[in-house]
Structure 1
Amino acid sequence: MQSVDVAIVGGGMVGLALACGLQGSGLRVAVLEQNTPVPVDDNAPPQLRVSAINAASEKLLTRLGVWSAIVARRASCYHGMEVWEKDSFGRIAFDDRSMGYSHLGHIVENGVIHQALWHKAQQCADVTLMVPAQLQQVAWGENEAFISLQDGSMLTARLVVGADGANSWLRNKADIPLTSWDYHHHALVATIRTAEPHQAVARQVFHGDSILAFLPLADSHLCSIVWSMLPEQAQQMQNASEEAFNQALCVAFDNRLGLCSVESERQVYPLTGRYARQFAGHRLALVGDAAHTIHPLAGQGVNLGFMDAAELISELKRLHAQGKDIGQHMYLRRYERSRKHSAALMLAGMQGFRELFAGENPAKKLLRDIGLKLADTLPGVKPQLLRQAMGLNDLPGWLR
């Protein structure tokens, strides 16, 4: 039977970031992942699932030694952001120069981030990647957790980390209650070619019943779109002819970048908000989507997960250095308090934002427009909003 200090269930971006961050701490780490990653082909078209990596996540990935590998492949740096409401005067714009930054973030394919972290984890002496590994059972003992896999092998760990996604098997196994709500929206994702160059600006437009984001990719005429709309609308747009889809997209986007043409398949997935009542328990911690999922309207999902990993790295290193038991719930409470607070703020912010921008009520529309206008023009508001979006208000000490 193999024995480790930390068993991370799930080898996605957040689980791997945690594993890489614990390298050199003296803790033995195992990552249990069901599927062997599929290599990203640099000559293939961009993948549909992308993330907007903010400054905080960039700092973490730099400290883990993978950022240069990510940027060397396919990452698109963006220098501006624009948000507006269709058919109105409400808009807000940010640019890095005027705010004193070199850039605002990067749009990166999830596969590129994942592959860089996987390669890094393979090089870490303290990390064992177990793949394919399918969990069969887990039992939490007084001093360690016992994990049995479907191939019959067993593993003990002082701490088990659930990084196994939104439908976390481990969270369910631990009977951690989950608060979840349906956003009554589906997201359509696709890659779009635009007639005019995107100029490295991320753009988002609100309609009464939909939100459309254009995220700039490395090719100056390619954008990844996330179009969040009513489920029946999303289905309709997924099945529409290319011509009808392109036309609807141009209209929805106020023709900001000239004619748009879809260059990929169109994928649709439902949007659900989730918040675990506990982020930690006896010999258990949750990170990333296993702990929380949010609306993609601000592209903050993976950034929130990366900060969970950053906070847990710092806590586990501290506890281990002080000779404390890393699996005791009373010691994990510090991590739990800090990350529950950040996730709750983000979820509440997204929910408020979504409700404010939903519907065509004229009074509400006027309120939105005035709000956007004031945020754009009042001194001191934009820098605060930008710091929040870049994750700079929420950094664990070791990344500052």
Structure 2
Amino acid sequence: MTQAFDVVIVGAGMVGAALATGLGRSGFRVGLVDQGAAPSYDAAQPPDIRVSALSAGSERYLAELGAWPDILAMRATRYTRLAVWDETDHPLSNVLPRKIAEVVFDARNLSARHLGHIVENRITQQALWSSASAQPSVTLFCGHAVTSLSNSDNYATVTLDDGTELTGELVVGADGANSGVRNLAGIGVTRDQYQQQAMVVSVRYQGPVQDITWQGFYPSGPRAFLPLHAAGNGESWASLVWYDSPEELARLKSLDNSALMAEIQNAFPPELPLLTHIDARASFPIARQHAKNYVNNRVVLVGDAAHTINPLAGQGVNLGFQDARCLQSVLREARRAGCDLANPARLDQYEQQRRPANRRMMLAMDVFYHLFSNRTPPLHLLRNLGLGAAKAMPFARNRVAKYAMGIDDDLPPVIRQLAERLPGFKQL
């Protein structure tokens, strides 16, 4: 059986479901394919171990799609401050204040109510599945994988594992870092594996929900705190991230909850509240990956299928939402002009807008990774001078904050200058 659509989107994660919703609201006939079942939410469940720091720009986009009220009705934790500091020992550690170069980004200095929200991925995904399903022109194909792709001059066709064929003017790969659509379309990637891995731990702690997210930087990698919702009985939930070598994280994962909690309490900065419970843990490798092209004839990539970055500041999904918003706009303009949705000039507009923007964020994350994840004395001095300068110059600090919030699309000059000196800069 063959079904015809304007656009077929493969991957109904957060980015794919957002794009389907946006196109559906504009009247496009959309086929949305995903191997998984519809996500579910139960307020009594512990938090999803996968969380994202949604920027103010992403919130605006989700509000446009009608999904943001549903997210707030489930649970989302607003944060108004973000703090970073260096925890590396140095010859003057016993003399100087511990956080002499701490930088705090505060929403009040930007005349904003908050910097963003920490939201569980399954909550964002469920809200977007609901908003996509509510569009009459969107059809969901749940529990099916794509087995083949035909990318012809006149139309594109994907074949599902039950033999169903879906045709469209355009096929969008929104199926993640290991994108099957990207592989079937013959689009290559450049990939750099970082030496570190990241372990994420869902915990409860004593005290109220905090309005700050912070990262202390160690030579082995940062250790981060992301606040979540209240747990009752005077406790709150949080997500902790510990970056370290694969060997060290394997050792930590082998510990029972009591021993792991003691290790975390001892290894994290003293700002970490007293932990009372560990619910879940998981670790994953970290890689920077960029598709060599975002477009091949009638196939276009968005989100992690097009790019993955160091998750240092939780910006991956925000970049994906920006991809979706941009592609949505380009396709609306193509439809308004009576063009084929795969018109090369139109799709080139999408790539020319999104590739440089994604590259800028990749560079920013690599600056932090290379600057902080080492014990080299000159770099230790440089990063503390940099943090000290940011602390002393509100204008520079606020430029960085606006960039991270999705308010300002220009990479702050100091980060660009440092990025240009990084290995692999030309390949991004």
Q: Normalising by structure 1, what TM-score?
A: 0.95
Other-structure match for 1:92: 103
**Aligned-pair Cα RMSD in Å:** 1.5
Other-structure match for 1:398: none
Corresponding residue to 1:333 among 332, 345, 348: 348
Q: Does 1:195 align with 2:210?
A: no
1:85-139 deviations in whole A, cap 9, x for unaligned?
Answer: 1155221002212321101100000000111111111110111111222212111
Q: Does 1:15 align with 2:26?
A: no
> Pairwise mapping of residues 59-138 of structure 1 onto structure 2 (< 5 A)?
59-86=60-87, 87=89, 88=98, 89-138=100-149
Provide the rounded CA distance (Å) in 2 between the counterparts of 1:50 and 1:356.
Answer: 25
Other-structure match for 1:216: 227
Other-structure match for 2:34: 33
Identity across the alignment (%): 40
Equivalent AA in structure 1 for residue 148 of structure 2: Q
Unaligned runs of 5+ in 1: 396-400
- Structure-2 change in CA distance of 1:248 and 1:90 (3 Å): farther
Q: Does 1:283 align with 2:298?
A: yes
Other-structure match for 2:406: 391
Other-structure match for 1:358: 373
1:217 Cα deviation from its structure 2 partner: 0.4
Q: How many residues align?
A: 395
1:283 Cα deviation from its structure 2 partner: 0.7
Q: Does 1:182 align with 2:197?
A: no
1:192-246 deviations in whole A, cap 9, x for unaligned?
Answer: 2233445310011100012111001012632111212111111111112333322
Q: Does 1:243 align with 2:258?
A: yes
1:150 Cα deviation from its structure 2 partner: 1.8
1:134-158 deviations in whole A, cap 9, x for unaligned?
Answer: 2121111111012222211212110
- Structure-2 change in CA distance of 1:159 and 1:57 (3 Å): same
SS of residue matched to 1:359:
coil
Contact kept in structure 2, 1:179 and 1:274, CA below 8 Å: yes
SS of residue matched to 1:266:
strand
1:348 Cα deviation from its structure 2 partner: 1.3
Q: Does 1:57 align with 2:58?
A: yes
Equivalent AA in structure 2 for residue 180 of structure 1: R
Q: Does 1:42 align with 2:43?
A: yes
Q: Normalising by structure 2, what TM-score?
A: 0.89
Provide the rounded CA distance (Å) in 1 between the counterparts of 2:200 and 2:273.
Answer: 19
Provide the rounded CA distance (Å) in 2 between the counterparts of 1:197 and 1:84.
Answer: 23
SS of residue matched to 2:132:
helix
Provide the rounded CA distance (Å) in 2 between the counterparts of 1:38 and 1:22.
Answer: 21
Contact kept in structure 1, 2:6 and 2:168, CA below 8 Å: yes
Contact kept in structure 2, 1:195 and 1:257, CA below 8 Å: no
SS of residue matched to 1:323:
coil
1:26 Cα deviation from its structure 2 partner: 3.2
